[in-house]
Structure 1
Amino acid sequence: MANLAPYISSIRLIVVMFPFLAILLLLPFLIRQYHRYGAISGWLVGVNYAFVFYILCAYALTILPLPTIEQVRAMTGPVENFHLFDFVRDFITYSGFVLTQPSTWLHAAKSPQFIQPFFNLLLTLPFGMFLRYQYKKSFLTSLVLSFSLTLSFELIQRSALFGLYPRPYRLFDVDDLFLNTSGAMLGWLLSGALGKMLPKKEAIVATLEERSHKVSISRKNVAILLDITVIVVCNIAYNLLVSHPNQLVLILLYLFWIVLPELIGWPTFGQRLVHLKLTDKSGQKAGMMQVLLRNVFGYVLVNGLFAAELYVLGQTGRVVDSELGTYYFLSLFDGFLILVFILSLIISLFTKQFFHEILSGTRLVSTYQNKPEE
């Protein structure tokens, strides 16, 4: 187990990092699911997360642990091996394996000459399984992708981690190329039988398409978050380009990106990506007053409450003592309104409608059209 300690440490590092990465990937995953299928499948999202986790572990195992520059500078061994099947010759020569003597088999299986090639085979086994089960790739396509993946491992090693080290600290080995690619294709073959025991993607997609015409709260939130993200990113980009940031730009971005499309009757960018469109309660184009009320209650009022709370709290450290009571009261009152807003969000999980939709008489309807599976 001592030889495996560095690899276990590499996987442990990925396990610690992955929850943070999962949060960053959540919105893109949800956008992809809603855009492709019109609904969310926890199983498909979970499989995609598992694939990302696997890829991170695979690269960590081929790159980590990182030696010091002094350790690498002191290395004198070869940096590449272009002799195919050296691992077979090493196994026959050094493992003590004798085919006609079963007593040597267990000892040979514990030798480095067997363990290292075996783990190289196992390293990419899941990759081929993911390609066939989740992404429906053919044998030939999977072969090309598998070879490309393992080639990237070897090139990163040969490049001395993109030149960060004075020389490669791991061997570029054609045997690894062969074993990793073979492992992935073995995984592709095994996934045929394994896939029969797992949920069929076709059945999941059929269920999703049945649900695609029902608009869930999470689907609405994805559209809102996407629009807000674009507005915030554009505002940050503007502030970086000019020397005097202007809050008016944020307001203009909001009016252009959200209010204007809804007034015209177009879906916003976020709504379009998840197949939603704003209408009134009857399914017709929402009127101007309805759109304005929706945005006042849904964006302006809510953002104003949070901005006011931050402003009042900031002022408590600057005003004279005689005015502190007034600011504390304003802070508590504003906090109460924020709590009401949060409670309304919780209630919306059951009513399937946000409070600003109810007050404005608007709703988001699905524009998803069933499409053949890719």
Structure 2
Amino acid sequence: MSTWTWPAYVGVVGGVLLFGLLLVPILLFQVRRYGALNGRRLVGAAAVAVYGVALVAYTLLPLPTGDLAAWCAAHGYGSAQLRPLQFVDDIRDATAGEPLSAAIRSPAVLQVVLNVVLFVPWGVIVRRFLGWRLLPAVASAFAASLLIETTQYTGIFGLIPCSYRVGDVDDLLTNTLGGLLGALVAPVVLRWMPQAHDLAAHRGEPRPVTVWRRWLGMLLDAAAFVGLGFVLDVAYRLVLVAAGRPTPTGEDGVDWVLGNAVPLVVVFVWPALVGSGASWGQRAVWLDPGLGGRPRRLLRATVPGGLWGLCGALASVPASWGLSDVAEVARVAAAVLAVVAVVAVPFTRGRRGLSGVVSGAVVRDVRGETRWSAAQSDRPSPSSTP
């Protein structure tokens, strides 16, 4: 694989992985910002992730390895290239006496072309996907290129004791040119991409309760349970390190409480007791189970979400507690509950799922309820005069 193509593979693989890691936050952002998911903006976000990783791969990788002092002595650069348009002389010298067909394939020519092409997507993304105006989009390309060249010249700001790539003012110029070209063609190239401000303008409109919205709410609840447990567990271990105390090699009792019991209460129990009684995931996707009375709300929160969280907590009990059989059964039960909860949504009336069947909840779009309530409050009472 050549030095010209391997960063593209890194960009695709790394970008897909990055997009996967950021998928839940992206979905949450879309639902809250636009009022609903937008498939074309989601595709755009995936493209941005791939491009971002590819840009880093092309401009900053590979990094020196091994004995950095020896590497710098053999391969490091002593100064930056600060003469504008030096690439013109480099191309002239490299292609002297060659026919045009050979000259345009010269590495000196291809390097300049790549520097321009590399930043065309930047201009397209910033101008059309992010919605910036032309001059700010070009300025952002200049700033990004300047940051890259500075990073190269300073050896990632001192992490590497030399300039491991040439900091080149011509790269700054050609990158900015690429950003300009991308910004100019962006309205045509991404004409099919809906603008964020247009979508946000309609975010208050009620939408149908779809299977995808219900599944997204469930995914957000599950992510909140796992994510909160992870954060609390890491925080606990950092406190132990800061206090100079040994960290447990496996889970201890405090680990288990912070990583499982606390998230169980915060994610599944607490929401049922406050506000509308909707789970955090349901609130995020503008849904309301429409239940009155805490017993029914707790029942809805318990089946299946709370039971799934409880089974997950039991499956993670420390080995020293001697509950390995219980943990194994809980692990299987958690998987079964998750499958049943997901499968039940499309086969229940109103997409209310297993929790709705058990508790009698009818899931509704909270924005529709708000409009109905506002309309009711604006109506004159029977005794009022016109």
Contact 1:38 1:368 in 2 (8 A): no
Q: What is aligned with 2:298?
A: 292
3-state SS of paired residue (1:40): coil
* Contact 2:14 2:50 (C-alpha < 8 Å) held by counterparts: no
Greater displacement, 60-69 / 224-233: 224-233
After superposition, the Cα gap between the structure-2 partners of 1:79 and 1:350, relative to the gap in structure 1 and judged at 3 Å, is farther
Contact 2:121 2:179 in 1 (8 A): yes
Choose which of 36, 40, 52 in structure 1 pairs with 2:49.
Answer: 52
Structure 2 equivalent of residue 143 of structure 1: 138
The change in CA–CA distance for 1:147 and 1:238 in structure 2 (over 3 A counts) is closer
Counterparts of residues 126-137 of structure 1 (less than 5 Å) = 126-137=121-132
| C-alpha displacement of 1:360 | 1.2
- Aligned counterpart, 2:184: 189
* Aligned residues between the structures: 347
SS of equivalent to 2:290? strand
* Alignment-mate amino acid for residue 254 of structure 2: P
CA contact (8 A) 2:153 2:167 kept: yes
- What is the 5 A alignment of 1:307-346? 335=332, 338-339=335-336, 342-346=339-343
Distance 2:194 2:305 in 1: 41
Residue 34 (structure 1) aligned with residue 40 (structure 2): no
Tell me: CA distance 1:169–1:306, structure 2 relative to 1, closer, same or farther (3 Å): closer
Cα distance change of structure 1 residues 166 and 256 upon mapping to structure 2, 3 Å threshold: closer
Counterpart pick for 2:166 among 164, 167, 171: 171
Task: Tell me whether 1:118 sits opposite 2:129 in the alignment.
Answer: no
What TM-score, normalized to structure 1? 0.78
TM-score, L = length of structure 2: 0.75
- The match for 1:263 is 273
Residue of structure 2 in register with 1:90 after alignment: 90
* Mapped partners of 1:337, 1:57: distance in 2: 39
Q: Percent identity?
A: 23
How far did 1:139 drift? Answer: 0.8
Alignment of 1:229-308 (within 5 A): 229=226, 231-233=228-230, 235-237=232-234, 239-240=236-237, 241=239, 245=254, 247=256, 250-251=260-261, 254-256=264-266, 258-266=268-276, 270-280=281-291, 286-306=292-312
8 Å contact kept, 1:226–1:270 = no
Inter-CA distance 136–238: structure 2 relative to 1 (3 Å threshold): closer
Relative to structure 1, the CA distance from residue 144 to residue 339 in structure 2 (aligned partners, 3 Å threshold; closer, same or farther) is same
Structure 1 residue runs without a partner (length 5+): 98-102, 281-285, 319-326
On the 8 A contact 2:138/2:183 being kept in 1, the answer is no
Task: Note the C-alpha offset of 1:38.
Answer: 1.9
Q: Deviations over 1:108-138 (max 9, x none)?
A: 2122332111111111011101112211110
Higher relative contact order (CA 8 A, sep 6+): 1
The answer for the alignment partner of 1:213 in structure 2 is: 207
Cα deviation, 1:13-56, whole Å, max 9, x if unaligned, reads 34333343232111111111111112112221111111111011
C-alpha separation between the residues in 1 aligned to 2:22 and 2:228?
19
| 2-structure distance, mates of 1:309, 1:254 | 13
Q: Residue 309 and residue 105 in structure 1: after superposition, are their counterparts in 2 closer, same or farther (change >3 A)? A: closer
Where in structure 2 are there 5+ consecutive unaligned residues? 246-252, 371-386
